[in-house]
A and B are shown apart, each in its own frame.
Chain A
Amino acid sequence: MSIVAKETIEVIAQSIGINNLSDDAALSLAPDVEYRMREIMQEAIQCMRHSRRTILTTDDVDGALNLRNVEPVYGFTSGGPLQFKRAIGHRDLFYIDDRDVDLKEVIEAPLPKAPLDTGVACHWLAIEGVQPAIPENAPVGVIAAPSNGNTHEQKDELPVDIRLPVKHVLSRELQLYFDKITELTLRKSDSALFKEALVSLATDSGLHPLVPYFTFFVADEVSRGLNDYSLLFALMRIVWSLLQNPHIHIEPYLHQLMPSVVTCLVSKKLGNRIADNHWELRDFTAKLVALICKRFGHVYNTLQTRLTKTLLNALLDPKRALTQHYGAIQGLAALGPNVVRLLILPNLEPYLRLLEPELLLEKQKNEMKRYEAWRVYGALLRAAGQGIYERLKIFPPLPSPPGHTIWKSKEKVVTAVPNKRKASMEPLEDEPALKKIATDGPIGSLALVTTLAPSGQNDAGQPSSSEKKTANRVGKDGQTLKKSAILNQIWKDDLNSGHTLVTLLELLGEGILSFIPSPEISATAAIVCALLSKAIDLKL
């Protein structure tokens, strides 16, 4: 009848050495135990309230026990609220995660940092009823209309709420702040002070009124300063910082910001000197674009589609400069593997055909152009590789089939690949070597195939696809049908990705393999091998 069960009383009695507690005694003790517990909790709540807290702590319970002249329960004091864990399998059973502590460990551990001493800080919560926008105050939501004496006078008679047109008043401090920031951006964007300014932009709470000014500033300067690489980079950094600031409500200004950001991504020319590393700027901007899409994609549902359309147009237009293509690829790649899979991969083949002449020494004599082409090629490789990597990563670890011989040979492949990656990644920066690889690209892939092919043939004891085999094996192993169905689905997906991978392999050479995570290789390599062997058969 009480929440304390009779059995509990018996257990407690046993724990203090009373073994033969009669049932009646336990039964009549139980309700009293509950009553006492409630009493103590009531006192503990009193103590909590007088400690100006809203969370009950063990100290409060100790205080309550003290009030009742009961020895406190030792060993539960902790600085903060206790962390309870739910017992697995029970819906409403919780326990405190109390680890055994090795005394030796505690003694040998370095002294913990001394806690900071209590201090008092002072700030203005309000000045004549208006909260100043300083970091110490909670962020003010929206710009409110400045209070006007007239409305209040009327309010005294009747609570009529007259909305005045929003008068935008920028305080002197904010004006100064804005001037300082813009000056820094324009003049000294590589100074340490500018970095501080970016941190301030990313964290300060009172900056919301400045957001329209900043957006305008960015748009203005981007359109004006396309030749000034460092300025553009500084501007993009400002946008980045503004996006980071949790107190700023930047959504309404996005439509003004986006054009300038996209400009910095796919503009034909950014900066006017050769030394300007506009690639880096494009990479940074691509990240920025992805951040914007991630943050506001759900609010502006057309944002991403519009953006991808712009980027895709830039990519597919053969008349555009390679730098523009590069920006578009980076932008699309930053938007995630799905975008890559849906938009880049289908266009990969025709595009590569377009790109190929630019890559080759014989056909493109202009060193600069060729360099650009290789940059684009690198970006494509990376985008496609990342896409396929993400794709493969989502597969759950599969029960590894017992074909040891196969996996051993796979391991060989795995170990072989990293070397090749090194070989294929470095050349991206280093043209001659890259040329070499590229020229013998087909041969390289052939060589790989030959290393793979035997394993495929080993496997081809049963020449059908290994998918079926594994599924069968799993079935044999007594797994439930459901699981094998799931497995089938996974294998199907896997097969698809395998196909994609094969296409990629055909298009981009073995460089793509470096993007396949090694555990996944073992999982997918079987199919890839099978498919590859098929593909090679066809080719041959």
Chain B
Amino acid sequence: MQAVNSFVAAYLKKKGFKEAEQLLEDLHSKDSAAPIDFHNDPDLAKFIHHFSQSEDEVARYQDGYSKLRSWTYSSLDLYKHELLRVLYPVFIHSFMDLVAKGHLQEARTFFNAFHEDHQLMHSRDLQKLEGVLSQSHLEEMEFARSLRQNKVNVKICQYSYDLLLQYLHKTQSSAMLGVINEHINFQATSGQPGSISDDIEVVTLIGSCQDAANQINQKEIHWGLLEDSLEERSEKEGGLLSDSEKTEGENKEGDAEESKKRSAEGGKQGSSTKKLKKDKAVNATAKSTRLEAKTTSSAPRVKPELTLPIMSTEVEQSILEDLRNRVQLSSIALPSVSFYTFLDTHNGLNCSSISHDGSLVAGGFSDSSLKVWDTAKLGQQTGGATLQGENDSTSSEHVVRPNGVKRSYTLFQGHSGPVYSATFSPLGDFILSSSADTTIRLWSTKLNANLVCYKGHNYPVWDVQFSPVGHYFASASHDRTARIWAMDRIQPLRVMAGHLSDVDCVQWHANCNYIATGSSDRTVRLWDVQSGECVRIFIGHRSMILSLAMSPDGRYMASGDEDGTIMTWDLSSGRCVTPLMGHTSCVWTLAFSCEGTLLASGSADCTVKLWDVTTSTKAPRNEEKSGNPNRLRSLKTLPTKSTPVYSLQFSRRNLLFAAGVLSKKV
């Protein structure tokens, strides 16, 4: 009792609370008759004890951290990198503890003293945290809040763990012990310490619980292609027909089967003469399609979960025609690239989009306008840009603009804010555009008019994408949601919520049952369109995700970020197959070639790069982790003339279209 009293008195004196001291003394003299039993109230004692310590708490954090840091740096090389992993979470949580306890000045000095250690790996997080200057900011900032609420998983080998515990016990640095206990969840593994690159989770400290992400990634997904797709049909036909040279009976059977399928579809197939013609053509190109069949036939087939729009016969015909004429691309056969350069945009072009056949190019501008160019009218040289004469118009490349009086493009006006994204329907008859005015607008390229205005998002819509079959589309917005829409409804069909920050880009899976979204929270998520649930979280990017692409076989996905890193992901396992390094600036766009052998990427560093995806995805599976991780390779870098590449699009015949703005260097 006496001890406590003197303690309190001393404390008050130290703090300069004269009145309180006086009061206490008065209290003493009064209460000596009926003393409160301080001893029997351990909580209070503890509280007081704690309180008296609080001013050197700051020092304890700073001291504890710097000691832990120097201990870690001087630890054994073998275990050092594992122990270093612990430092970062300890650092940010110590900082946030200091802020939360109101030692703002000290928190700032603490931050400045040690943040350079982590600058390399976590510069963006640090940038965000640097601004946190009061308790209220901690609560307000999504990132900080989720960090505070969740524990960080650190994978560490048993011995390192023991080392760390030993150290903490020996030094008695309770502050560090507290932080580590409170915020870090150790997963001690027996055996040797892992390699540095092993654990991607170290790289990105995502606010959301890692366990939850792991759990989500356990869910089953059906990444296979749609049953009865046109590709499949043409493969089948090709296969059957080439076989038919040997066995006629089988051919008949196949034919019958096929026609049965067709009649089931609605009896809309063309007349038999037409089919005969087609069959002949198929026969001619059977070899090439069969080759392709080999690569894709392994993919399982799934049923569509959405009711898909019905395709007219003519369209079907033209697509089949395209499929037959498709150029086979591989590491030895690189595609031809036709480049559309936007000139005189006066810094106003925000996005561009190319229709699937390359006949239309759209640009969304910051002055709220959407402009569409018909490439057939661009001048003589477009004869080369269209699909027919791919190789015979390389000379005479100078641009003959239509006479200056008439505009060379169709102007679509209707938005009231910068247009951030535009997308063509698969047949090129519709365009969707999304804007900062929170709306998405549907335009008809046939009527040159606005058809529908979709309102639903509350903040700028960053991205909009038509589904591979048309009719449905997905949008991504600053309001942290992605939404699924159908052209004939003005309300969204699904709202996908879950990202911790803006949803920056969206992409459909080849079978239309899933969409992928990339976000500023540096994760990519895969959502089930039917249920609206998140089925995969892909963690590994270090900065905002800007572009996504799905492989045509539905198995892989590529995502590009602000730093120029491209990652390829295996959808079924949710793991990163390989990061593709090479770009030095934002990857604005990604595109898989039609048979999925090549990946093209366009970046702000004024290059188009072609990557061999077959080596990056298939080889490691065969060798199973035995080889070096950098098996994949950049096949070719195509530099442009100071033109950042905004969009890429493979036509069905595997001609690559690219678009960008000529930017003069200042």
Is A bound to B? yes
Chain A residues engaging chain B, CB cutoff 8 angstroms: 1-2, 28, 31-32, 34-35, 38-39, 42, 46, 49-54, 57, 59, 63, 66-67, 79-81, 115-132, 134-138, 149, 152-153, 155-156, 159, 173
Give the complex CA separation of A138 and B562 in angstroms: 24
Give the complex CA separation of A173 and B366 in angstroms: 41
**Given A38-B130, A63-B418, A138-B640 contact (CB < 8 Å):** yes
A51 touches B350 (CB 8 A): yes
**Given A1-B105, A80-B666, A129-B335, A52-B646 contact (CB < 8 Å):** yes
Give the complex CA separation of A128 and B420 in angstroms: 32
- Which one of B130, B586, B588, B639 lies within 8 Å of A138 (CB-CB)? B639
B133 touches A2 (CB 8 A): yes
Q: List 29 A-B contacts (CB under 8 A).
A: A1-B104, A1-B108, A1-B133, A31-B134, A31-B137, A34-B131, A35-B131, A38-B130, A50-B420, A52-B646, A63-B418, A118-B342, A118-B343, A118-B345, A118-B346, A118-B365, A120-B363, A120-B373, A120-B378, A121-B340, A121-B399, A122-B382, A122-B384, A125-B640, A126-B334, A129-B335, A130-B334, A156-B331, A173-B395
Give the complex CA separation of A125 and B640 in angstroms: 7
| Of B70-78, B291-299, B300-308, B401-409, the one with at least 4 CB within 8 A of chain A | B401-409
- Which one of A54, A125, A155 lies within 8 Å of B638 (CB-CB)? A125
Q: How far is the CB of A136 from chain B (nearest CB, A)?
A: 6
Q: Is the interface of A mostly helix, strand, loop or mixed?
A: mixed
Residues of B within 8 A of A137 (CB): 639-641
Give the complex CA separation of A32 and B133 in angstroms: 7
Chain A minimum-CB-distance residue to B631? A159
Q: Is B604 an interface residue (CB 8 A)?
A: yes
Give the complex CA separation of A210 and B134 in angstroms: 68
Q: Is B447 an interface residue (CB 8 A)?
A: no
Chain B residues engaging chain A, CB cutoff 8 angstroms: 104-105, 108, 128, 130-134, 137, 331-351, 361, 363, 365-366, 371, 373, 375, 378-379, 381-382, 384-385, 391, 394-395, 397, 399, 401, 404, 407-409, 418, 420, 436, 459-460, 462, 478, 502, 504, 520, 544, 546, 562, 585-586, 588, 604, 606, 608, 610, 633, 635-636, 638-642, 644, 646, 658, 661, 666
Q: How far is the CB of B108 from chain A (nearest CB, A)?
A: 5
Residues of A within 8 A of B378 (CB): 120-122
Give the complex CA separation of A54 and B409 in angstroms: 27
Give the complex CA separation of A35 and B138 in angstroms: 11
B399 touches A63 (CB 8 A): no
Give the complex CA separation of A118 and B407 in angstroms: 9
Assuming A51-B366, A115-B346, A128-B333, what are 15 further A-B pairs, CB within 8 angstroms?
A2-B108, A38-B130, A52-B350, A120-B343, A120-B409, A122-B382, A124-B338, A124-B394, A127-B336, A127-B337, A128-B335, A129-B635, A134-B397, A136-B641, A138-B606
Give the complex CA separation of A202 and B456 in angstroms: 57
Which residue, of A117, A130, A156, has the highest number of chain B Cβ atoms within 10 A?
A: A117
Give the complex CA separation of A79 and B108 in angstroms: 38
Residues of A within 8 A of B504 (CB): 46, 49-50
Q: How far is the CB of B346 from chain A (nearest CB, A)?
A: 6
Give the complex CA separation of A177 and B147 in angstroms: 66
Give the complex CA separation of A130 and B391 in angstroms: 12
B335 touches A126 (CB 8 A): yes
Chain B minimum-CB-distance residue to A33? B133
- Which one of A1, A28, A136, A159 lies within 8 Å of B397 (CB-CB)? A136
Chain A minimum-CB-distance residue to B664? A80
B337 touches A126 (CB 8 A): yes
Chain B minimum-CB-distance residue to A45? B544
A49 touches B436 (CB 8 A): no
Residues of A within 8 A of B331 (CB): 152, 155-156
Chain B minimum-CB-distance residue to A66? B436
B132 touches A51 (CB 8 A): no
- Which one of B384, B395, B544 lies within 8 Å of A49 (CB-CB)? B544
Residues of B within 8 A of A80 (CB): 347, 666
- Which one of A28, A122, A135 lies within 8 Å of B381 (CB-CB)? A122
B332 touches A149 (CB 8 A): yes
**Given A120-B342, A126-B334, A128-B334, A46-B520 contact (CB < 8 Å):** yes
B341 touches A35 (CB 8 A): no
Residues of A within 8 A of B343 (CB): 116, 118-121
Residues of A within 8 A of B462 (CB): 50
Residues of B within 8 A of A127 (CB): 336-337, 391, 394
Which residue, of A59, A67, A124, A149, has the highest number of chain B Cβ atoms within 10 A?
A: A124
Residues of A within 8 A of B586 (CB): 49, 52, 54
Q: How far is the CB of B263 from chain A (nearest CB, A)?
A: 42
Residues of B within 8 A of A66 (CB): 436
Give the complex CA separation of A54 and B502 in angstroms: 19
The 5 tightest CB contacts between A and B, nearest first, are A129-B334, A31-B133, A38-B131, A125-B339, A125-B337
Q: How far is the CB of A209 from chain B (nearest CB, A)?
A: 15
A67 touches B478 (CB 8 A): yes
- Which one of A31, A32, A118, A122 lies within 8 Å of B399 (CB-CB)? A122
Q: How far is the CB of A54 from chain B (nearest CB, A)?
A: 5
Residues of B within 8 A of A34 (CB): 131, 133
Residues of B within 8 A of A39 (CB): 131
Residues of B within 8 A of A53 (CB): 347
Residues of B within 8 A of A115 (CB): 344, 346
